[in-house]
Chain A
Amino acid sequence: DTAVSQTPKYLVTQMGNDKSIKCEQNLGHDTMYWYKQDSKKFLKIMFSYNNKELIINETVPNRFSPKSPDKAHLNLHINSLELGDSAVYFCASSQELSRGGYTFGSGTRLTVV
């Protein structure tokens, strides 16, 4: 009965590979997000979807592509992985577009070697 679940929890892959991270929420929230947390713990928003519609698309390389098949899912696909993509990626959801507190997933630690 996890509220926001991300898979996988850990992902180790080689440079140049393509990988996906899946996120699902069972809270009935309208809005979902992807955040990146770097090695210094800095959290930066990447994308925000409201009812499957892209709302926020920060300055993120176009190798990153979010996909929201329905409002309960927001997946993140990354092409041609680079060393600098290594980070922890958090999915989150909220009832109101950024006005409600976020419920975060447990994070996916991506390591590119």
Chain B
Amino acid sequence: AQKVTQAQTEISVVEKEDVTLDCVYETRDTTYYLFWYKQPPSGELVFLIRRNSFDEQNEISGRYSWNFQKSTSSFNFTITASQVVDSAVYFCALSEATGGFKTIFGAGTRLFVKA
């Protein structure tokens, strides 16, 4: 059965600090996809990144970077030089081939960035 664990319920940092959001997943499939989404206080859900299970290359997009490690079943998200606008709930999600690629979400990590 698939499972996504975001152990950090809330994180609070001061602006310009770096912060890493952890995501650990469980799956028996060899083919699966991992995602991160952002939900700012306004409530919309914004897609950030997708990774497939065959691509362990880390990715950087501006201040955002993602570290995918199959050996530890983790897909962590780092924000460098955090800004107040990064304050949001961040969700990690997993979609696996078994069950028709149903996507399940972790419980989310609420990030507070203080000025």
Interface positions of A (Cβ within 8 A of B): 40-45, 48, 55-56, 88, 90, 92, 96-104, 106-107
Pair A41/B39 contact, Cβ less than 8 Å: yes
CA of A103 to CA of B57, assembled, Å: 24
B33 contacts A99, C-beta separation under 8 Å: yes
- Contact with B43, one of A40, A100, A103, A107 (Cβ below 8 angstroms): A107
Contact assessment for A99 and B95 in the assembled complex, using a CB-CB cutoff below 8 Å: yes
Bound CA span A41–B40, Å: 12
Per DSSP, chain B at the interface is strand
Question: Which of B14-22, B61-69, B78-86, B99-107 is near enough to bind chain A?
Answer: B99-107
Cβ of A98 and Cβ of B100 under 8 Å apart?
yes
B101 A45 Cβ-Cβ under 8 A: no
Q: Which residues of B contact A88 (CB under 8 A)?
A: 43
B107 contacts A55, C-beta separation under 8 Å: no
The listed residue (A98, A106, A107) touching B101 by CB distance below 8 A is A98
**Which 4 A-B pairs give the minimum distances between C-beta atoms?**
A98-B101, A101-B47, A104-B45, A43-B105
The reply to whether A97 and B43 contact each other, CB–CB distance below 8 Å, is: no
CA gap between A99 and B37 in the complex, in Å: 14
Closest to B96 in A: A98
List the A side residues contacting B104 at CB < 8 Å: 45
| A43 to B37 CA separation, bound complex (whole angstroms) | 11
**Are B102 and A48 in contact (CB-based, < 8 A)?**
yes
B52 — nearest CB in chain A belongs to which residue? A99
Q: Are B100 and A56 in contact (CB under 8 A)?
A: yes
Q: Contacts A98-B100, A98-B101 given: A90-B35 contact, CB under 8 Å?
A: no
- Give A90 to B103 CA distance when docked, in angstroms: 14
For A42, list chain B residues within 8 Å (CB).
105, 107-108
Is B111 engaged at the interface, CB distance under 8 Å to the other chain?
no
Partner of B89 from the list A41, A48, A103 (CB cut-off 8 Å) is A41
A45 touches B103 (CB 8 A): yes
B70 interface hit (Cβ, 8 Å)? no
